[in-house]
Amino acid sequence: MLHIIAIRSGAAAVTPILKAMNDASPQTYSGFVAILGKPNVGKSTLLNQLLNVKVAPISPKPQTTRKSVRGVLSEGDRQVVFVDTPGFHKPADALGEYINRQVTEALADVDIILWLVDLRHPPTPEDELVARVLEPLLGKKPILLVGNKADAAKYPEEALEAYQRLLPGVEARMISALSQRDVERLRAEILALLPQGPFFYPPEHAKSDQSIEDWISETIREEVMKRLRQEVPYAVAVKVEEAAERENGTLYARAVLYVEREAHKPILIGKGGRMLKELGRAARKQLELFLNRPVFLDLEVKVYPNWRKDPEALRELGYN
């Protein structure tokens, strides 16, 4: 079962109760660890594997992650708050600028950085952008260059060396985020690097600090990304208008899927409402599995013209 608690992230989020608990406890180690890289290198997959539970949406398409997602790992006297950041890229609109701000803001208050790259390909201009963002931080905090998809790469060593040249002096290693052995080795390395400090979340409950509304909206949008093609999935935003528990224990959620054009609306709804029903059914199954309770989703599609280019629209849709 996935436990979701609504506690803001960051060192200032430690409550007086948790401070008192840690003051009376044996020595503990904790820290924030950012996972960043260009789009579609496997950041969310790696986060889910590190936690052994799914907290971040996954699809083969770039920009599946639009907001930083935090996952909490507690092992013995150590606690890691992983921050899965959206893919850093050259922005084309206000949404892209928001996504990049999620990355740079995450870097300001973390203890360790994992720079994830795709070893199947040589560095791209987007990888160079990431390296330039990281360059001022080199030597100030641990930066681990993690070459992912080593199992599928033809020349992984050569690719990793090319990425190292973008940020000379960075420590590098190769993994497959789908390999349990590789992930366990990386997890142990991260735990060993944690500084001394108090736990930020109750270790027996927390796996993610997402609100229930964010979890529902991101699960729905993940299904949109999986099923729709071309421009349409990137033009969809999901906002949960209501989430409440009914007397019978069912979680009722009413969500609106916003698209940018009238032409997108029938594509998302599908013939006879088939696509929207399929999206809702798949999202409901995911939510019931991870929340361990029955879920009823009430979905509606509306048009919000050019919302990705409008900063005010972004705020209204939850991209604050």
Domains belonging to the chain, first-starting first, are 11-193 (3.40.50.300), 212-316 (3.30.300.20)
What span, in angstroms and rounded, lies between the C-alpha atoms of 211 and 5? 7
Q: Do residues 52 and 103 make contact, with C-beta atoms less than 8 angstroms apart? A: no
Report how far apart the first and last C-alpha atoms of the chain are (Å, whole number).
29
CA-CA distances (angstroms) from residue 74 to 17, 22, 261? Answer: 18, 14, 44
3-state secondary structure of 307: helix
Q: Give strand ranges (E) for the chain.
A: 29-36, 69-75, 78-84, 112-118, 143-148, 171-174, 237-245, 251-259, 295-303
- β-strands 112-118, 78-84 pairing: unpaired
Residue carrying the six token digits 């509306």: 302
Each of the 320 residues of the chain gets a pLDDT tens digit; together they read 344 433 333 444 444 444 444 455 579 999 999 999 888 898 888 988 998 877 765 545 445 555 667 889 999 999 999 988 776 656 556 766 776 777 777 788 899 999 999 999 999 999 999 999 999 999 999 999 999 999 999 999 999 999 999 999 999 999 999 999 999 999 999 999 999 999 998 887 657 777 889 889 989 988 998 888 877 888 899 999 999 999 999 999 999 999 999 999 999 999 999 999 999 999 999 889 878 899 999 999 999 999 998 989 888 988 77
- Both structure tokens of 247: 């007397």
In which residue are the tokens 């930020």 written? Answer: 200
Degrees, nearest 5: CA angle 102-48-140? 50
Q: What angle do CA 315, 59, 297 make, to 5 degrees?
A: 60
Residue 4 β-bridge partners = 208
CB 174 within 8 A of CB 160: yes
Would you state the pLDDT for residue 173? 96
Contact 173, 159 (CB under 8 A): no
What pLDDT was estimated at residue 295?
A: 95
Q: How far apart are CA 122 and CA 134, in angstroms?
A: 18
For residues 206 and 51, is the Cβ–Cβ distance under 8 A? Answer: no
Q: Which residue has the tokens 């999935």?
A: 233
Q: Which pLDDT score is estimated for 102?
A: 72
pLDDT, residue 88, reads 64
Please say whether the beta carbons of 239 and 217 come within 8 A.
Answer: yes
Cα 33 to Cα 111: distance, rounded to the nearest angstrom: 6
Distance, CA of 130 to CA of 124 (rounded, Å): 10
Which residue bears the tokens 């990705």? 308
Rounded distance, CA 95 to CA 314, Å?
7
Model confidence, pTM: 0.74
Query: What φ, ψ does residue 153 adopt, rounded to 5°?
Result: -85, 140
Query: Do the strands 78-84 and 251-259 form a parallel or antiparallel pair, or are they unpaired?
Result: unpaired
